[in-house]
């Protein structure tokens, strides 16, 4: 998601002092039928602690046209057992066919490419293309919002496509605190779930979150805990 004053100072001032609409996003894996505000940016970052590894993620995204959110970011993973490090790089574009409205629904399309440089020696950009359709439904004046994703990923290492899906929800406790719950997976693999909370430190600008997750039927090896930070800017790309 990112002259006069130094860029960092300008962006921090924008984050803290101007209003924005609310978005779903972190910590849900299931995407929503919303984008970053037109001509604005966001940065989603988090640490995911697995049983024997740690993932460090950063996903900056900007909406350059008003209805095209572009994300370019990735992750570094430290494996405690092997002592090795791996990386992931993600590029994604998302657009909306119908923006989500209060007590209504929204639908869009996301297309992306997830590369795993360490997995393909000599092919740094080789990875898995994917797409999904995010759909969101608002109830009780946005106090409860349900998200669904249906899509597919081309698993290059297996030479075939796998269907992907997700169902997630966000429930408002108060205007700053939300509870999230979701389940998601892909064909041929055990599904996962996670539960967590999201809190706006500075409403609509600075958000923190935490989750607990696991794979179904694999309580010993599949669980994780995540802690995240999300920053949103005002429109500044015009």
pLDDT digits (tens, 9 = 90+) for 61-89: 999 999 999 999 999 999 888 888 888 99
Mean pLDDT on 116-136:
77
Give residue limits of the domains in the chain. 7-232
What is d(CA 208, CA 27) in angstroms, rounded to the nearest whole number? 9
In which band, very low, low, confident or very high, does the pLDDT at 155 lie, cut at 50, 70 and 90? Answer: confident
Alpha-carbon distance of 51 to 219, in angstroms, equals 10
Q: Mind listing the pLDDT tens digit for each residue in 183-204?
A: 999 999 999 999 999 999 999 9
Contact predicate 147/166, CB 8 Å: yes
Is-contact 48 54, C-beta < 8 A? yes
How far apart, in whole angstroms, are the C-alpha atoms of residue 57 and residue 208? Answer: 14
Percent of the residues in the chain that have a pLDDT greater than 70, as a whole number: 85
DSSP structural state of residue 21: -
Q: Yes or no: say if 69 and 35 are a contact pair by the CB < 8 Å rule.
A: yes
Planar angle of CA 170, 224, 131, nearest 5 degrees: 60
The answer to whether residue 117 scores a pLDDT higher than 50 is yes
> What whole-number distance in Å separates Cα of residue 74 and Cα of residue 181?
24
Cis peptide before 27 (omega within 30 of 0): yes
Burial of residue 120, with CB atoms counted within 10 A of its CB: 0-12 exposed, 13-18 middle, 19 or more buried = middle
- Residue 118 is predicted with a pLDDT of 58
Instruction: Name the fold adopted by 7-232.
Output: Porin (2.40.160)
Helices (H) and strands (E) in the chain, counts: 1, 12
Mean pLDDT of 135-160: 94
**pLDDT at residue 86 in the model:** 86
SS3 letters across 86-150:
EEEEEEEEEEEEECCCCCCEEEEEEEEEEECHHHCCCCCCCEEEEEEEEEEEEECCCCEEEEEEE
Do the Cβ atoms of 137 and 130 come closer than 8 Å?
no
Residue 166's pLDDT is what? 97
pLDDT at residue 24 greater than cutoff 70:
no
pTM for this prediction: 0.85
Count of CA atoms in the C-beta half-sphere (13 A) of 200: 20
């Amino acid at each position: 998601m990112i002259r006069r004053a130094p860029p960092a100072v300008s962006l921090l001032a924008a984050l803290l002092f101007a209003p924005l609409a609310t978005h779903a996003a972190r910590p849900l894996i299931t995407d929503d039928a919303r984008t970053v505000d037109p001509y604005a940016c966001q940065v989603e970052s988090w640490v995911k602690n697995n049983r024997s590894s740690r993932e460090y993620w950063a996903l900056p995204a900007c909406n350059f046209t008003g209805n095209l959110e572009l994300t370019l970011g990735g992750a570094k993973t430290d494996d405690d057992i092997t002592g090795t490090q791996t990386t992931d790089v993600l590029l994604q574009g998302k657009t909306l066919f119908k923006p989500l409205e209060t007590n209504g629904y929204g639908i869009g399309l996301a297309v992306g490419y997830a590369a795993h440089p360490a997995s393909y020696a000599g092919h740094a950009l080789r990875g898995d293309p994917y797409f999904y359709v995010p759909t969101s439904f608002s109830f009780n004046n946005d106090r409860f919002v349900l998200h669904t994703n249906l899509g597919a990923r081309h698993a290059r290492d297996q030479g075939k496509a796998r269907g992907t899906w997700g169902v997630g929800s966000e429930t408002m406790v108060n205007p700053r605190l939300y509870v999230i719950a979701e389940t998601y997976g892909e064909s041929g693999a055990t599904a996962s779930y996670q539960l967590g909370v999201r809190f706006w430190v500075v409403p609509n600008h600075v958000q923190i979150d935490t989750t607990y997750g696991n794979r179904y039927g694999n309580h010993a090896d599949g669980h994780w805990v995540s802690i995240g930070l999300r920053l949103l800017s005002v429109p500044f790309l015009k």
